[in-house]
Amino acid sequence: MDWTAPVDIYCERLDASFWAEPLNAVSNLAFILAALWGAVEAHKRDVTQPAIWVLIILAFCIGVGSFLFHTFATAWSGFADTVPIWTFVACYTLVSIALIGGAPPRRIAIFAVVAIAVVTVVWLANDSPDTDNYGLRPRSRFNGSEQYLPAVVAMLIFTAITQIRRHPIRWWFLGATLTFLLSLTLRTFDMALCDVWPYGTHVFWHLLNGTMIALLLQALIRHTRKAPTP
């Protein structure tokens, strides 16, 4: 693999220069702010659970990785973008299972293996030889958004469970899920709207996902007594 291979899959990018995607690059501050808000709130509430602080750090890394991808726009920066995202998804799913369902460690371990397997399959599928830009170019009419279907399913399930059980974090989850569905819709139509809106809609994907991650972090931080202990 040529790790320096250029990647161009968004409306905003018209050339290979560093600042060809200013809106997509700067909008990653949404993830940084989500992480900072989480850190401030966790410190204020004396949250010490390592799992929550790992998620806060991962949220920060998402912002950094996505910034690298939308500035350098190469194969290596593409992985710097996707690895923190899917790591956050896997870790938050595990923490949520323990928080909402009170799952025993053995069940969580089994789910961890399954989650890692799913993430690995996604990466391998996106890195198949029949794709351009080393798997980073959308290959379908959904603009590559179908890769986030497992995340959508997980969030819908968690939202339903928290609502049924009237869990204290249910409204945080509902807000995060609705935000994610809207952001995924905008991401899907990014390339299709280039002629109408040359800047693209990916910037809103960043802003809304930053909001979603902020809501997810606050859901755990504000109900830390129900969070899993190390």
Does the pLDDT value for residue 205 go beyond 90?
A: yes
Q: What is the DSSP string of 144-195?
A: TGGGGHHHHHHHHHHHHHHHHTT-TTHHHHHHHHHHHHHHHHHHHTTGGGTT
Dist CA 145 CA 184 (whole Å):
7
Read off the pLDDT band of 138 (50, 70, 90): very low
Does the pLDDT value for residue 168 go beyond 50?
A: yes
Dist CA 47 CA 220 (whole Å):
10
The domain locations on the chain are: 30-226
Q: What's the rounded mean pLDDT across residues 58-66?
A: 97
Question: Which residue would you say has higher pLDDT here, 172 or 106?
Answer: 172
Q: What's the rounded mean pLDDT across residues 34-39?
A: 98
What does DSSP assign to residue 226? G
Supply the mean pLDDT for the chain: 84
For domain 30-226, the CATH architecture is Up-down Bundle (1.20)
Does the pLDDT value for residue 184 go beyond 80?
A: yes
Task: Reduce the DSSP state of residue 74 to 3 states and report it.
Answer: strand
